[in-house]
Structure 1
Amino acid sequence: MTTSINQFEDNFCGILTHSGEVKIAKGDVEQEILYIDDEGIVLVDGGKKAYQTAIHSKLLPLIQYATAGDTGFIKFIRGEAYIVGFRKNRSD
Protein backbone atom coordinates (compact mmCIF):
# COMPACT_ATOMS: atom_id res chain seq x y z
CA MET A 1 0.00 0.00 0.00
CA THR A 2 1.36 3.39 -0.98
CA THR A 3 0.48 6.43 1.09
CA SER A 4 0.65 9.97 -0.16
CA ILE A 5 2.21 12.44 2.25
CA ASN A 6 1.33 16.10 1.94
CA GLN A 7 4.50 17.91 2.98
CA PHE A 8 2.61 21.15 3.64
CA GLU A 9 0.39 19.59 6.28
CA ASP A 10 3.50 18.98 8.38
CA ASN A 11 4.63 22.64 8.70
CA PHE A 12 6.98 22.28 5.74
CA CYS A 13 8.39 25.32 3.94
CA GLY A 14 7.17 25.89 0.40
CA ILE A 15 10.22 27.72 -0.88
CA LEU A 16 10.71 27.28 -4.61
CA THR A 17 14.08 27.48 -6.32
CA HIS A 18 14.80 27.79 -10.03
CA SER A 19 15.11 24.00 -10.29
CA GLY A 20 11.69 23.52 -8.65
CA GLU A 21 13.07 22.14 -5.37
CA VAL A 22 11.59 23.03 -2.02
CA LYS A 23 14.28 24.93 -0.12
CA ILE A 24 14.69 27.89 2.23
CA ALA A 25 16.37 30.75 0.38
CA LYS A 26 18.84 33.11 2.04
CA GLY A 27 17.91 36.76 1.84
CA ASP A 28 14.15 36.24 1.83
CA VAL A 29 12.29 38.40 4.34
CA GLU A 30 9.98 36.60 6.78
CA GLN A 31 6.62 38.31 7.37
CA GLU A 32 3.34 37.13 8.89
CA ILE A 33 0.60 36.54 6.31
CA LEU A 34 -2.48 38.59 7.24
CA TYR A 35 -4.75 37.86 4.28
CA ILE A 36 -4.78 35.84 1.03
CA ASP A 37 -7.36 36.44 -1.71
CA ASP A 38 -8.41 34.36 -4.72
CA GLU A 39 -6.64 36.72 -7.14
CA GLY A 40 -3.18 35.84 -5.80
CA ILE A 41 -2.73 38.96 -3.68
CA VAL A 42 -1.32 38.54 -0.18
CA LEU A 43 -1.30 41.12 2.62
CA VAL A 44 1.64 40.72 5.02
CA ASP A 45 2.61 42.39 8.29
CA GLY A 46 5.64 44.54 7.58
CA GLY A 47 6.26 45.56 11.19
CA LYS A 48 5.23 49.21 11.15
CA LYS A 49 2.58 48.74 8.44
CA ALA A 50 1.05 46.02 6.31
CA TYR A 51 1.86 45.83 2.62
CA GLN A 52 0.60 43.95 -0.41
CA THR A 53 2.59 41.29 -2.24
CA ALA A 54 1.88 39.02 -5.18
CA ILE A 55 2.30 35.25 -5.14
CA HIS A 56 5.16 34.10 -7.37
CA SER A 57 3.67 32.20 -10.33
CA LYS A 58 5.55 29.00 -9.45
CA LEU A 59 3.99 29.01 -5.98
CA LEU A 60 0.36 29.43 -7.09
CA PRO A 61 -0.48 25.68 -7.03
CA LEU A 62 0.82 25.41 -3.44
CA ILE A 63 -0.56 28.59 -1.88
CA GLN A 64 -3.86 26.84 -1.11
CA TYR A 65 -2.04 25.31 1.87
CA ALA A 66 -1.13 28.73 3.32
CA THR A 67 -3.48 30.59 5.65
CA ALA A 68 -3.52 33.84 7.60
CA GLY A 69 -1.06 33.61 10.49
CA ASP A 70 1.51 31.55 8.57
CA THR A 71 4.96 32.97 7.84
CA GLY A 72 5.48 34.19 4.28
CA PHE A 73 8.90 34.48 2.67
CA ILE A 74 9.13 37.67 0.63
CA LYS A 75 11.60 38.31 -2.17
CA PHE A 76 11.93 41.73 -3.78
CA ILE A 77 12.35 41.42 -7.55
CA ARG A 78 12.81 44.64 -9.53
CA GLY A 79 11.11 46.67 -6.82
CA GLU A 80 8.09 44.36 -6.51
CA ALA A 81 7.42 42.15 -3.46
CA TYR A 82 6.61 38.49 -4.15
CA ILE A 83 5.67 35.64 -1.83
CA VAL A 84 8.13 32.91 -2.82
CA GLY A 85 7.34 30.52 0.01
CA PHE A 86 5.65 30.03 3.33
CA ARG A 87 5.91 28.12 6.59
CA LYS A 88 2.81 26.79 8.31
CA ASN A 89 2.06 28.17 11.77
CA ARG A 90 2.90 25.38 14.22
CA SER A 91 0.01 26.24 16.55
CA ASP A 92 -2.56 24.85 14.06
Structure 2
Amino acid sequence: MRVLVVHCPPVETGFHAALRQAVPKNLRAARHEAGDRDLHAGGFNPVLSRKKRLGCHDVSTHQPPLQPYVERLQGAEGYRAHCHMNVATERQLTRFMARFA
Protein backbone atom coordinates (compact mmCIF):
# COMPACT_ATOMS: atom_id res chain seq x y z
CA MET A 1 0.00 0.00 0.00
CA ARG A 2 1.22 3.52 -0.78
CA VAL A 3 1.03 5.66 2.36
CA LEU A 4 1.87 9.31 2.87
CA VAL A 5 2.64 10.32 6.46
CA VAL A 6 2.12 14.03 7.07
CA HIS A 7 3.38 15.62 10.27
CA CYS A 8 4.07 19.12 11.50
CA PRO A 9 6.44 18.79 14.46
CA PRO A 10 7.71 22.23 15.56
CA VAL A 11 10.71 20.77 17.41
CA GLU A 12 13.00 18.42 15.48
CA THR A 13 13.99 16.57 18.67
CA GLY A 14 10.48 16.29 20.13
CA PHE A 15 8.03 13.43 20.50
CA HIS A 16 6.17 14.09 17.25
CA ALA A 17 9.42 14.38 15.32
CA ALA A 18 10.33 10.93 16.64
CA LEU A 19 6.97 9.63 15.44
CA ARG A 20 7.57 11.20 12.03
CA GLN A 21 10.75 9.15 11.74
CA ALA A 22 9.41 5.90 13.23
CA VAL A 23 6.11 5.56 11.39
CA PRO A 24 7.44 5.57 7.79
CA LYS A 25 10.36 3.34 8.84
CA ASN A 26 7.99 0.74 10.29
CA LEU A 27 5.64 0.96 7.31
CA ARG A 28 8.58 0.29 4.97
CA ALA A 29 9.68 -2.63 7.16
CA ALA A 30 6.17 -4.05 6.66
CA ARG A 31 6.74 -3.74 2.88
CA HIS A 32 4.54 -0.70 2.33
CA GLU A 33 5.61 2.20 0.14
CA ALA A 34 5.78 5.07 2.64
CA GLY A 35 6.49 8.70 1.94
CA ASP A 36 6.60 11.40 4.55
CA ARG A 37 6.08 15.13 4.57
CA ASP A 38 7.16 17.42 7.40
CA LEU A 39 4.96 20.49 6.98
CA HIS A 40 6.91 22.53 9.52
CA ALA A 41 10.20 21.94 7.69
CA GLY A 42 8.48 23.10 4.51
CA GLY A 43 7.51 26.43 6.07
CA PHE A 44 3.85 25.59 6.74
CA ASN A 45 2.05 28.30 8.68
CA PRO A 46 -1.00 26.89 10.50
CA VAL A 47 -2.52 30.33 11.11
CA LEU A 48 -5.42 31.06 8.78
CA SER A 49 -5.70 34.80 8.26
CA ARG A 50 -8.97 36.56 7.53
CA LYS A 51 -7.78 37.38 4.02
CA LYS A 52 -6.87 33.76 3.25
CA ARG A 53 -10.15 32.47 4.69
CA LEU A 54 -12.22 34.88 2.59
CA GLY A 55 -10.26 33.88 -0.51
CA CYS A 56 -10.17 30.13 0.11
CA HIS A 57 -12.76 29.40 -2.59
CA ASP A 58 -10.71 31.18 -5.26
CA VAL A 59 -8.87 28.18 -6.71
CA SER A 60 -6.57 30.37 -8.82
CA THR A 61 -5.15 31.94 -5.64
CA HIS A 62 -4.67 29.04 -3.26
CA GLN A 63 -4.22 26.02 -5.50
CA PRO A 64 -0.76 26.71 -7.02
CA PRO A 65 1.16 26.70 -3.70
CA LEU A 66 -0.73 23.59 -2.57
CA GLN A 67 -0.34 21.61 -5.79
CA PRO A 68 2.72 19.58 -4.67
CA TYR A 69 0.82 18.51 -1.53
CA VAL A 70 -2.32 17.67 -3.52
CA GLU A 71 -0.33 15.49 -5.94
CA ARG A 72 1.35 13.57 -3.11
CA LEU A 73 -1.98 13.00 -1.35
CA GLN A 74 -3.58 11.83 -4.58
CA GLY A 75 -0.73 9.34 -5.03
CA ALA A 76 -1.46 7.70 -1.67
CA GLU A 77 -3.82 4.75 -1.52
CA GLY A 78 -5.03 5.60 1.94
CA TYR A 79 -4.65 8.05 4.74
CA ARG A 80 -5.39 8.54 8.39
CA ALA A 81 -5.36 11.94 10.02
CA HIS A 82 -4.42 12.64 13.61
CA CYS A 83 -4.22 16.04 15.22
CA HIS A 84 -3.35 16.04 18.89
CA MET A 85 -1.00 17.41 21.50
CA ASN A 86 0.82 14.96 23.74
CA VAL A 87 2.28 15.69 27.13
CA ALA A 88 4.34 12.89 28.61
CA THR A 89 7.15 12.34 31.04
CA GLU A 90 10.60 11.44 29.80
CA ARG A 91 10.11 7.90 31.14
CA GLN A 92 6.84 7.48 29.20
CA LEU A 93 8.48 8.72 26.01
CA THR A 94 11.47 6.43 26.46
CA ARG A 95 9.20 3.40 26.93
CA PHE A 96 7.09 4.39 23.92
CA MET A 97 10.08 4.92 21.60
CA ALA A 98 11.67 1.63 22.72
CA ARG A 99 8.88 -0.14 20.83
CA PHE A 100 10.19 1.32 17.56
CA ALA A 101 13.88 0.60 18.11
TM-score range normalised by the length of the shorter chain: under 0.3
TM-score (norm 2): 0.21
TM-score (norm 1): 0.22
Larger % of helix: which? 2
Bigger relative contact order, structure 1 or 2 (CA pairs below 8 A, ≥6 apart): 2
Query: Based on CA coordinates, which of the two structures has the bigger radius of gyration?
Result: 2
